[in-house]
Amino acid sequence: MSEQVGSRIRRSPLLWVVVVALGLAAAVRLAGQLVGGGTAWPFVIGIGGVLVILVVIYAGLNATARALVQRVAAQRPDATVVLTVPATSMAETAARLGVDHGVIRPDGSRYSALAILPDRVELWAGKAQEPRWWVARTRGGVTLVQAQIGQVATDALRIAASDTDEQEIVVRAVPLPVWLDVRHKHRQMAMEQLVRDLGQDPARILGSAA
């Protein structure tokens, strides 16, 4: 099962399209029985439906992700911009900081982006023209944690100025194009690159996961 997070579709697009395609195939087969004909072609149509729906879903997700990254890059031309998805706990952090937490949903259904600057890391989400909040970059400010993202517990990076800093950022890196996120290899490569972008050593931060 894919670890793609977000809404039900983004958490498991394959499952979603299979359900839709099975319903389509059943309807087509019923129509075939009513008018007469073979039994194989409804399944061919069902498979075709899976592929078409899957392409449409991932194309939409990828367009949304790239638009976010490009918008942040335009606002922060000197920053390294990385696509991420926020941990479920980030909704509570946003509420505590008085930030519009509607753009950081507990089900992980929206992407976020990090703008990595020499002195700070900014969290961007939604369509705002400024970061939701930011944390100062420090030598020991990046740690690997287990975080809940939607219904999935997964490795994530905690970025904070200190161990007790409540203005933290907890995210998982997402590769582009986003359909690469279905493979563990690409998810891991995205995490390693994010650690490098933060000026840290993946072998030290991610350990055996690197």
pLDDT of 132 reads 93
pLDDT tens figures, 12-27: 555 555 555 566 666 5
45 versus 112: the higher-pLDDT residue is 112
For residue 1, pLDDT over 50 is answered with no
For residue 204, pLDDT over 70 is answered with yes
Closest residue by Cα to residue 93 from 163, 194, 168: 168
d(CA 95, CA 90): 9
d(CA 149, CA 117): 25
Q: How many CB atoms lie within 10 A of CB 139?
A: 7
For residue 109, pLDDT over 90 is answered with no
Per the DSSP assignment, residues forming a β-bridge with 114 are: 82, 123
pLDDT tens figures, 72-85: 999 999 999 999 99
Each domain of the chain, given as residue ranges in start order, spans 8-209
Closest residue by Cα to residue 150 from 128, 131, 172: 172
> Please, are residues 169 and 175 in contact by the beta-carbon 8 Å criterion?
no
pLDDT tens figures, 46-73: 666 667 777 777 788 889 899 999 999 9
Angle among Cα 127, 199, 95 to the nearest 5 degrees reads 35
- Both structure tokens of 117: 């600057």
Mean pLDDT of 139-145: 91
